[in-house]
């Protein structure tokens, strides 16, 4: 501070005072001015212990005036003060808390040695570019509209604070080059920052949005949804908040004992170098097309998955030839290795002869060890869990299993997987980033337009139905009426 101290001009006394009284007044002015200097230094540097006891009476004389000067205009619901002397974040406002443990009780000594009671602790969410929840203490005796932001607590969380010039700059706790906020020093050397805390209603709205996208993407896990948004692996997807709580449809559809062991350590270096395949079924209830089985083909490199439905297992060979023709034409490459279990639908002379003629190496698992075909087994389970959850949520008949499986595969191709870094399977396969704009919750009510050729002039133009699947090769969502 040095010689740049600020002085306050006191009210002038009556001109009728005696010279002795004027001398006493001048002496008192000097002491009060010195006391004010120490108080202002303490406010700026948070070093109240430096204040001399000898000046305590003078300090008392000016304390109320200083507190009024340091109070920043109430321009927002939450005015935060960056405070290096505070031991914890503190607020007077009970309504700001998302969670509050009122059983927590303690005392806090302020800079003027005044003791205030702490009546609880909990989390407060701040509405910034990144929603941040902070552990905070509730002190109802604090000044109205005052939130104390503890420098030490922020540093413990990894944030960097730089004081220089006339501002305080706060940097992100992960990306040290990312500036979160720059707080200008205001009158009386305070650092107030006006932030809007998110009330319970705002947080509830964000939770509802997260649940909606959890359902739209076939009950995909929240961690995966956050990765999908953060790494910009899908366009038109809003920010997803991780929700604490159970999804009943997920509990009913995904509960299992233990996962399969991880698959082979060898990974393909390009598309179609290795294809995993497996058959699932028979289903007790046939689909609307009278199918009881489905077969998956998974590209090892991209994890792109294709699904086909069958009435009998004997159709596997015909379906494989159809799949081979499709993907080889799309990619301009040839299938090199096919990995399957030792089921009769794969392990027969007709299938072996075809693979030999096409130059495809057919790898099969050891008998009674389906885990060796782990990629297919795991994908089968994931598809069935997602399909089951979607059917359970909308209480749809079991006959819709094929539509649910088809939708599950479509969505999983647009969701992140640990096997592919920083992109979705469909982007790894096609090079195009998927969009979330067209996605709707499976089984939602929809109204289907009836073509002119199929209705008379006075008949309804729409028919009520439910969305059932998004077609791979059509720019539309299929519905069932």
**Dist CA 45 CA 136 (whole Å):** 23
Q: What is the mean pLDDT of the chain?
A: 75
Q: Which has more pLDDT, 466 or 471? A: 466
For residue 55, pLDDT over 50 is answered with: no
> What share of the chain has pLDDT > 90, as a percent?
32
Q: What number is the average pLDDT over the span 25-39?
A: 51
Phi, psi dihedral angles at 464 (to 5 degrees):
-75, 135
Q: Active site includes 101? A: no
Whole-number Å distance between alpha carbons of 15 and 252: 89
Query: What's residue 40's pLDDT?
Result: 42
Rounded-to-integer distance, Cα 323 and Cα 298, Å: 11
Mean predicted confidence (pLDDT) in 467-479: 55
Neighbours of 99 (CB within 10 A): 13
Per the CB < 8 A criterion, the answer to whether 140 and 151 are in contact is no
Q: Contact at 8 Å (CB) between 324 and 335?
A: yes
Choose, from 3, 32, 45, 83, the residue flagged as catalytic: 83
The token pair that represents 214 in the structure block: 């959890």
Q: What is the mean pLDDT of residues 79-89?
A: 68
Q: What average pLDDT does the segment 105-112 reach?
A: 76
User: Which has the higher per-residue pLDDT, 73 or 15?
Assistant: 15
Question: Mean pLDDT across the stretch 29-58?
Answer: 42
Q: What is the pLDDT of residues 402-432, one digit of tens each?
A: 999 999 999 999 999 999 999 999 999 999 9
Q: 3-state DSSP: the chain helix, strand, coil percent, rounded to 5?
A: 35, 20, 40
List of residues 6+ apart from 394 with CB closer than 8 A: 442, 443, 466
Tell me, what DSSP letter sits at residue 77? S
C-alpha torsion angle, residues 416, 417, 423, 424 (rounded to 10) = -60
Task: Count Cα atoms within 13 angstroms, Cβ side, for 454.
Answer: 8
Tokens (6 digits) for 10: 């006191």
Indicate the SS3 state at residue 386: helix
If one compares 142 and 61, the residue with the highest pLDDT of the two is 142
- Map tokens 């009210």 to a residue: 11
Query: Which of 386, 411, 425, 382 has its CA nearest to residue 469?
Result: 411
For residue range 253-300, list pLDDT tens digits in order: 777 655 545 544 678 999 999 999 999 999 999 999 999 999 999 999
Read off φ and ψ for residue 48, nearest 5 degrees: -55, -35
pTM of the model: 0.53
Whether the link from the prior residue into 154 is cis, omega within 30° of 0, is: no
Tens of pLDDT, residue by residue over 147-175, are: 556 677 677 777 888 888 888 888 877 77
Q: What is the pLDDT of residue 187?
A: 75
Write down the pLDDT at residue 35.
47
Q: Is 40 strand, coil or helix?
A: helix
For residue 308, the 8-state DSSP code is: E
Greater model confidence, 455 or 26: 455
Chain centroid to CA 186: 35
- Cβ-proximal residues to 140 (8 Å cutoff; 6+ apart), any chain: 92, 94, 117, 119
**Using CA atoms, how far apart are residues 295 and 281, in angstroms rounded to an integer?**
9
Starting from the edge strand earliest in sequence, which strands make up the sheet with 274-280, in order?
305-310, 293-299, 274-280, 337-340, 361-364
pLDDT at 17 over 50: no
Q: Compute the distance between CA of residue 147 and CA of residue 178 in angstroms, rounded to an integer.
A: 24
Residue 258 CA: distances (Å) to CA of 169, 190, 378, 381: 48, 57, 11, 12
Beta bridge partners of 276: 298, 339
Phi-psi region of 4 (alpha: psi -120 to 50; beta: other; left: phi over 0): alpha
Please check the confidence at residue 220 and state whether its pLDDT lies above 50: yes
pLDDT bucket at 319, cuts 50 / 70 / 90: very high
CA distance 464 to 123: 45
pLDDT at 224: 84
Q: Which one has a higher pLDDT value, 90 or 328?
A: 328
């Amino acid at each position: 501070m040095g010689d740049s101290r600020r002085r306050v001009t006191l009210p002038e006394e009556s001109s009728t005072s005696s010279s002795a009284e004027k001398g006493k007044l001048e002496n008192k002015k000097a002491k009060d001015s010195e006391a004010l200097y120490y108080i202002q230094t303490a406010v700026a540097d948070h070093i109240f212990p430096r204040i001399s006891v000898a000046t305590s009476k003078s300090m008392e004389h000016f304390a109320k005036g200083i507190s009024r000067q340091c109070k920043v205009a109430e321009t927002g619901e939450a005015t935060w003060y960056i405070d290096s002397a505070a031991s914890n974040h503190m607020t007077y406002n009970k309504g700001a808390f998302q969670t509050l443990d009122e059983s927590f009780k303690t005392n806090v000594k302020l800079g003027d040695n005044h003791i205030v009671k702490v009546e609880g602790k909990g989390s407060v969410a701040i509405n910034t570019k990144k929603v941040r929840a902070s552990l905070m203490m509730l002190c109802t005796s604090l000044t109205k509209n005052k939130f104390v932001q503890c420098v030490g607590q922020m540093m413990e969380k990894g944030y960097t604070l730089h004081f220089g010039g006339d501002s305080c700059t706060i940097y992100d706790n992960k990306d040290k080059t990312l500036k979160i906020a720059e707080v200008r020093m205001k009158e009386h050397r305070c650092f107030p920052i006006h932030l809007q805390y998110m009330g319970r209603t705002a947080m509830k709205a964000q939770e509802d949005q997260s649940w909606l996208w959890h359902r739209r993407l076939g009950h995909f896990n929240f961690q995966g949804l956050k990765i999908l948004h953060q790494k910009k692996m899908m366009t038109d997807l809003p920010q997803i908040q991780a929700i604490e709580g159970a999804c009943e449809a997920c509990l009913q559809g995904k509960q299992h004992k233990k996962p399969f062991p991880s698959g082979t350590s060898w990974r393909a270096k390009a598309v179609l170098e290795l294809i995993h395949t497996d058959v699932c079924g028979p289903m007790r209830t046939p689909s609307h097309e009278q199918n009881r089985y489905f077969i998956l083909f998974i590209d090892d490199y991209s994890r792109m998955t294709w699904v086909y439905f069958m009435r009998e297992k004997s159709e596997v060979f015909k379906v494989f030839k159809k799949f081979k023709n499709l993907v080889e034409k799309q990619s301009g490459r040839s299938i090199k290795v096919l990995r399957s279990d030792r089921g009769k639908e794969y392990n027969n002379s007709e299938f072996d002869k075809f693979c030999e003629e096409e130059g495809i190496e057919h790898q099969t698992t050891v008998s009674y060890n389906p885990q060796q075909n782990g990629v297919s087994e795991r994908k089968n389970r994931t598809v069935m869990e997602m399909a089951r959850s979607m059917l359970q949520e909308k209480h749809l008949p079991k006959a819709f299993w094929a539509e649910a499986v088809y939708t599950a595969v479509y969505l999983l191709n647009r969701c992140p997987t640990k096997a592919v870094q920083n992109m979705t399977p469909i982007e790894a396969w096609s090079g195009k980033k998927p969009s979330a704009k067209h996605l709707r919750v499976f089984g939602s009510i929809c109204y289907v337009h009836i073509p002119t050729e199929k209705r008379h002039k006075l008949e309804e133009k729409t028919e009520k139905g439910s969305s059932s699947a998004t077609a791979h090769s059509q720019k539309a969502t299929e519905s069932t009426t």
